Amino acid sequence: MCGIFGYVGSENASPILARGLKNLEYRGYDSVGIATVSTRLEIRKGVGKIDDAKERLRLEEARGNVGIGHTRWATHGTVTAENSHPHTDCRDEIAIIHNGIIENYYEIKKRLLERGHRFSSETDSEVIAHLIEDNLSNRGGAASSNGSSFEHACVRAFQELRGSFAVLAVRQGEDKIVAVRKDSPLVVGLAENGTFFASDVAPFLEWTKDVVYLENHDLVVADRAGVRFFDQDFAEVNRPVSTVEWDLEEARKGNFDHFMLKEITEQAETIQRACVQDMEVVERIASMIRSGFGVFFIACGSSYHACLTGSYLFSKVANLHVNVVLASEFENYEHFLTDRTLVFAVSQSGETADVLEAVRAAKRRGSRVVSITNVMGSSLSREGDELLLMNSGPEICVLSTKTYTSQVVMMALLVCSLKGDPEECVQRVKGLYMDVYNLTSRSMRERLKDLARDLAGKDHIYMIGRGLQYTTALEAALKVKEVSYIHTEAFAGGELKHGPLALIEEGTPVFVFVSRDNEDRIVSNAQEVKARGGFVIGVSDWNSPVFDRWIKVPDCGDLNPVIQAIPMQVLAYELAIQRNLDPDKPRNLAKSVTVL
Amino acid residing at 403 = T
Average pLDDT over residues 97-104: 92
Residue 302 lies in a domain: yes
Q: By the 8 A CB rule, do 525 and 493 touch?
A: yes
Choose the weakest-confidence range: 62-71, 180-189, 586-595.
586-595
Residue 489 lies in a domain: yes
Pick the catalytic residue: 176, 182, 481, 591? 591
Instruction: Tell whether 267 and 222 lie within a shared domain.
Output: no
Q: By the 8 A CB rule, do 492 and 464 touch?
A: yes
Residue 254 lies in a domain: no
Instruction: Tell whether 204 and 321 lie within a shared domain.
Output: no
Instruction: Tell whether 165 and 119 lie within a shared domain.
Output: yes
Strand 94-102 with 41-47, pairing: unpaired
- What confidence tens digit (pLDDT) does each residue in 138-161 have? 754 444 445 569 999 999 999 999
Helix, strand, coil share of the chain (percent; to 5): 40, 25, 35
Average pLDDT over residues 185-189: 94
Pick the catalytic residue: 2, 307, 416, 556? 2
Q: What is the pLDDT of residue 249?
A: 67
- What confidence tens digit (pLDDT) does each residue in 71-88 have? 887 766 677 888 888 999
What predicted TM-score, i.e. pTM, was given to this entire model? 0.86
Which residue range(s) make up the domain with 182?
Answer: 2-244
Mean pLDDT of the chain: 92
DSSP secondary structure string, 138-171?
A: II--SPBTTB-HHHHHHHHHHHH--EEEEEEEEE
Residue 435 lies in a domain: no
Residue 86 lies in a domain: yes
- What confidence tens digit (pLDDT) does each residue in 530-557 have? 999 999 999 999 999 999 999 999 999 9
Instruction: Tell whether 287 and 195 lie within a shared domain.
Output: no
Percent of the chain with pLDDT over 70: 96
pLDDT at 392 over 90: yes
Instruction: Tell whether 61 and 131 lie within a shared domain.
Output: yes
Instruction: Tell whether 286 and 390 lie within a shared domain.
Output: yes
- pLDDT band for 51, please (50, 70, 90 cuts): confident
Residue 366 lies in a domain: yes
Residue 595 lies in a domain: no
Average pLDDT over residues 17-35: 85
Q: Crossing angle for the helix pair 468-484 and 301-318, nearest 10 degrees?
A: 170
Choose the weakest-confidence range: 38-47, 91-100, 211-220, 223-232.
38-47
Instruction: Tell whether 406 and 451 lie within a shared domain.
Output: no
Q: How far apart are alpha carbons 174 and 25 in whole angstroms? A: 29
- What confidence tens digit (pLDDT) does each residue in 263-303 have? 999 999 999 999 999 999 999 999 999 999 999 999 999 99
Neighbour tally for 237: CB within 10 Å: 12
Beta bridge mates, 388: 372
Instruction: Tell whether 52 and 142 lie within a shared domain.
Output: yes
| CATH number of the domain where residue 95 is located | 3.60.20.10
Query: DSSP secondary-structure letter at 257?
Result: S
Q: By the 8 A CB rule, do 163 and 102 touch?
A: yes
Instruction: Tell whether 418 and 451 lie within a shared domain.
Output: no
Average pLDDT over residues 444-472: 97
- What confidence tens digit (pLDDT) does each residue in 484-520 have? 999 999 999 999 999 999 999 999 999 999 998 888 9
Q: What is the pLDDT of residue 116?
A: 92
Instruction: Tell whether 336 and 240 lie within a shared domain.
Output: no
Strand 236-237 with 294-299, pairing: unpaired
Residue 589 lies in a domain: no
- Find out whether the peptide bond into 86 is cis, omega within 30 degrees of 0: yes
Show which of 388, 412, 430 is a domain's final residue: 430
Amino acid residing at 473 = A
Mapped onto helix, strand or coil, the DSSP state of residue 465 is: strand
- pLDDT band for 473, please (50, 70, 90 cuts): very high
Q: What is the pLDDT of residue 207?
A: 95
Show which of 211, 244, 277 is a domain's final residue: 244
CA atoms lying within 13 Å on the CB side of residue 113: 9
Confirm whether 591 is a catalytic residue: yes
Show which of 188, 217, 244 is a domain's final residue: 244
Instruction: Tell whether 186 and 225 lie within a shared domain.
Output: yes
Domain count, the chain: 3
Confirm whether 2 is a catalytic residue: yes
| CATH number of the domain where residue 318 is located | 3.40.50.10490
Instruction: Tell whether 59 and 40 lie within a shared domain.
Output: yes
Average pLDDT over residues 408-433: 95
